Amino acid sequence: MSNLTLIVAATKTNGIGKNGNLPWRLPKEMKYFARVTSGAPEGFSNMVIMGRNTWESIPAQFRPLPKRLNVVISRNSAYELFPETKQTEEAHLYPNLLSALNFAPKDRQIHRKFIIGGNSLYAETLGGKGHSMQDIRADRVLLTRILEPAFEDCDTFMPNFLSSDPCASVAWQRASHGDLETWVGGDVPKGVQEEKGVKYEFEMWLRRE
């Protein structure tokens, strides 16, 4: 099974988006996302896998996300990743997650694979056994928990993977802050962070089985 890490910023009620965008603008949190998803040993790069809506939500000037192998999932094989003027850029389109994960680029080695959204890819990789046909599961979640304000006007949500409903959930355990820093390979601010009046915390969760 391929190691897969899900990275997300979500409110306490698992809100992740609003009107096709992030509900907040948190530059330092975004820098953490960029650092973690980019970090790879010399000669390696990470793969960032996203749904088509997430691709479109990334500001055009940051697309493709630099220094990462960008993979976009859409069932529409005619989907144009770039406008005519930007077609020298590199990003890859796959019809489903399984074919994306089987993609092995010839010109570089892949270090880590990240699922970066949105709700349907999160659901597919968080689901317990039987959610997706091939049982592709994320074994690690890098969760930025948005604590305050509540951002109650979110219109997009990730599954409640920490739900105690035994039917819906698989057991997850929170890793220590030290384990998060070791995995990320650098310092991560510990405890509640505040940026522009928004409080949040960097967490790492590991699947038990």
Nearer to ligand FOL, 59 or 130 (CB): 59
CA torsion sign, 144 to 147 to 152 to 157?
positive
For the question of residue 162 being annotated catalytic, the response is no
Rounded CA separation 34/66 (Å): 9
Site string for ligand FOL, 44-63 (x = CB under 6 A): ----------x--xxx--x-
Task: Find the helix or strand (DSSP H, E) in which 56 lies.
Answer: helix 52-57
HSE at residue 19, side-chain half, CA atoms within 13 A, is: 4
Looking at 4, 5, 14, 22, which residue binds ligand FOL (CB under 6 A)?
Answer: 22
Helix and strand totals (H; E) in the chain: 5, 11
Query: Taking the complex as a whole, how short is the minimal distance between the CB of residue 156 and ligand FOL, in angstroms?
Result: 11
Q: Which is nearer to ligand FOL, 29 or 124 (CB)?
A: 29
Decide if residue 197 touches ligand FOL (CB under 6 A): no
Taking the C-alpha atoms of residue 122 and residue 8, their distance in angstroms, rounded to an integer, is 9
Q: Which is nearer to ligand FOL, 133 or 203 (CB)?
A: 203
Nearer to ligand FOL, 48 or 101 (CB): 48
Our answer to whether residue 147 is catalytic in this structure is no
Q: What angle do CA 146, 166, 155 make, to 5 degrees?
A: 35
Catalytic residue positions, numbered: 22, 29
Catalog residues that contact ligand FOL under the rule CB under 6 A. Answer: 7-9, 22, 29-31, 33-34, 54, 57-59, 62, 65-66, 116-117, 144
